[in-house]
Amino acid sequence: MEKKIYLDNAATTKTRPEVVEAMLPYFTELYGNPSSIYEFSAQVKRGIDEARAKVAKVIGAESSEIFFTGGGTEADNWALKAVAEVYASKGNHIITSKIEHHAILHTCEYLEKNGVEVTYIDVDENGIIKLDQLERAIRPTTILISVMFANNEIGTIQPIKEIGAIAKKHDILFHTDAVQAFGQVPIDVNEMNIDMLSASAHKLNGPKGIGCLYIRKGIKLRSFIHGGGQERKRRAGTENVPGIIGFGKAAEIALETMEERARKEIRLRDLLMKRILDEIPFVRVNGDKVRRLPNNVNVSFQFIEGESLLIMLDMNNICASSGSACTSGSLDPSHVLLAIGLPHEIAHGSLRLTVGHENTEEEINFTVDRIKEIVEKLRRMSPLYEDFMKKKQ
Amino acid sequence: MYSQKVMDHFTNPRNVGEIENASGVGTVGNAKCGDIMRMYLDIDDNGVIRDVKFKTFGCGAAVATSSMATELVKGKTIQEALKVTNKAVMEALDGLPPVKVHCSLLAEEAIHAALWDYAEKKGIKIEGLDKPKSDIHEDEEQEED
């Protein structure tokens, strides 16, 4: 197949043509600064307001509760650092999970160096957070619970409503990093008792460099970026207008097409998983089989290493990713795969394939055929496989 | 990220396989770090490496350095093989990304481990060869350090 097969939609997605089209006028025609007084700029401001409403609608929030940021990572940083600072008089304890994105984990590590105490809750073998452990970890000084909505590597969806209920019961703020879930699965911030939520446009066929933090009305949270009065003084700096417009459009389409997309993606996802499990020996699926993002497949092939697999897939024009150490530049494989209890050598042999609405069954079948060949080739040169087969004899 | 030579040796690795009743076998690295190399040597009575095979679990650089190392020692004497350093392997591959330099060290160690095994089997001492640090024997492979 000459054409590129893109199966890395959890990393980023292709910007929809409709989104690009919506953005374009805001570069060359509607370029006014939304903070200016003249009518030319008021038009731009209206565009932003509309986009904000579209983003808010995805999670059942009010427009005024959406604050645009430079992306999901910024939103995560803002939520954690600002809560730690603003609520310092109430306490200095944060609860999170072991499988968060690095935007949360590394921010927590930073906060720990500054006197904040963080408890990292375990997950079970499918990546679902241990709710009893979470509730037991609550102290009088706990000021925030931050648990991701869905995991970026293994696709496991957390019991967010239950976590929200626990947070509410103990009167603790609840933040969720919903970067992978926003626009992909139904979210209702009120029903789920979510106080803060991070999202990013480029994961839902929107542009890169734009995201948002939802902050429930009434929650005190200091500014993250200081300067002008943009975003109601909470996030200063002239707005990324085309980005915001693009985010709005992408959110609107994501909400409209959610059911239909999910159906299609689940069909492709399940075909991928089924064929891999049926046709390749010594393989396991990582993550929960039911509570799972529609687009996520994560498998581990025993006896082989992920980076080799990725390069060989790349030579077949197939884009995927892995939790292998070699792909991260460190010696340790993915913290998520280790947290669900995989031994190192199995974690090194992991492959993540995340489908999108544009993928076809033909692409999936072609990909599985190539994976089969590559896994076989790599196993033929693997000393681990050799030892395993000898022991079996 | 990789040079053309690395890609060539990764996609068409030379000397993959096993040697039955090999003169020396060395396995280095560990699964925890994601790299294991095993080198098989067939050494004749004159101390010349007649044949060499390898098996590697690891990234593209690990496979390519193993492959290149086998090419560099094939047909060489033991003393010549000892001079195949990780630097030589790297140069022959037109370089490696900095995070992958350890792969070339592993390739050097794999040769040394196989030579050490040969020396032990023969009951001889090879001048200039020390016991390789990270040599792991087959039974110990599951052990985590």
Cβ distance of B58 and A384 shorter than 8 Å: no
- Among A326, A329, A383, the residue with its CB nearest the CB of B56 is A383
Interchain CB distance below 8 Å, A384 and B60: no
Give residue-wise pLDDT tens across range B114-129: 999 999 999 999 988 9
Model confidence, pTM = 0.93
Beta-carbon pairs below 8 A across chains A and B: 74
Nearest CA of chain B to the CA of A287: how many Å? 21
* CA atoms of A337 and A350, how far apart (whole Å): 9
Q: Work out the average pLDDT over A327-338.
A: 78
pLDDT the model gives residue A330: 62
Q: Specify the higher pLDDT residue, A323 or A288.
A: A288
Nearest of A114, A175, A183 to residue A144 by alpha carbon: A175
**A323 pLDDT exceeds 90?**
no
Task: Using DSSP bridges, classify how beta strands A211-215 and A283-285 pair: parallel, antiparallel or unpaired.
Answer: unpaired
B101 in contact with A, Cβ within 8 Å? no
Facing B34 at nearest CB: one of A311, A312, A326: A326
Give the per-residue pLDDT at A329: 57
- For residue A24, is pLDDT > 80? yes
Residue B72, C-beta contacts closer than 8 angstroms, at least 6 positions apart: B84, B88, B89, B92
B28 in contact with A, Cβ within 8 Å: no
Q: In this predicted model, which residue has the larger pLDDT, A345 or A129?
A: A129
What pLDDT does B139 receive? 41
Q: Mind listing the pLDDT tens digit for each residue in A43-80?
A: 999 999 999 999 999 999 999 999 999 999 999 999 99
Helical packing angle, A361-380 and A241-279, nearest 10°: 60
Give residue-wise pLDDT tens across range A85-100: 999 999 999 999 999 9
ipTM of the complex: 0.88
pLDDT for residue A328: 57
Known catalytic residue at B33: yes
Are B111 and B52 spatial neighbours (Cβ–Cβ below 8 Å)? no
B103 is catalytic: yes
Residue B64 Cα distances to A23, A47, B13, angstroms: 46, 54, 7
Average pLDDT over residues B62-73: 97
**pLDDT tens digit sequence for B97-112:** 988 888 899 999 999 9
C-alpha–C-alpha distance, residues A304 and A306, integer Å: 7
Give the tens place of pLDDT for each residue, B6-28.
999 999 999 999 999 999 999 99
Q: Indicate the average pLDDT of chain B.
A: 89
Per the prediction, chain A carries an average pLDDT of 96
Q: Identify the closest residue of chain B to A379 by CA–CA distance.
A: B57
Q: Across the interface, do B62 and A305 touch by the CB < 8 Å criterion?
A: yes
Region B64-73: mean pLDDT is: 97
Contact list in B for residue A343 (CB cut-off 8 A) is 31
For residue A186, report the phi and psi dihedrals to the nearest 5 degrees.
Answer: -60, 135
Cβ-Cβ contacts under 8 Å, A331 against chain B = 33-34
- Mutation site, A282, A307, A385, A390, interface B, largest B CB count within 10 A: A307
Pick from A302-316, B11-25, B131-145: least confident? B131-145
Preferred mutation among A308, A330, A334, A386 to probe B, highest tally of B CBs within 10 A: A308
Helix axes A72-86, A102-112, angle to 10 degrees: 30
Model pLDDT, residue B138: 42
Residue B143's pLDDT is what?
A: 39
Confidence of residue B53 (pLDDT cuts 50, 70, 90): very high
User: So what's the pLDDT on residue B142?
Assistant: 41
A237: CB partners within 8 A, 6+ apart: A225, A227, A228, A230
Distance CA A378, CA B3 (A): 20
Tokens standing for A130? Answer: 């241990």
Give residue B1's pLDDT: 82
pLDDT value for B137? 43
Does the structure show a pLDDT above 50 at A166? yes
Question: Residue B54: phi, psi to the nearest 5?
Answer: -140, 160
Chain position carrying tokens 């008792």: A193
Cβ-Cβ contacts under 8 Å, A386 against chain B: 18, 38, 55
Confidence of residue B91 (pLDDT cuts 50, 70, 90): very high
Strands (E), chain A: 5-6, 66-69, 93-97, 117-121, 142-146, 173-177, 196-200, 211-215, 283-285, 296-301, 318-319, 350-354
pLDDT surpassing 60 at residue B144: no
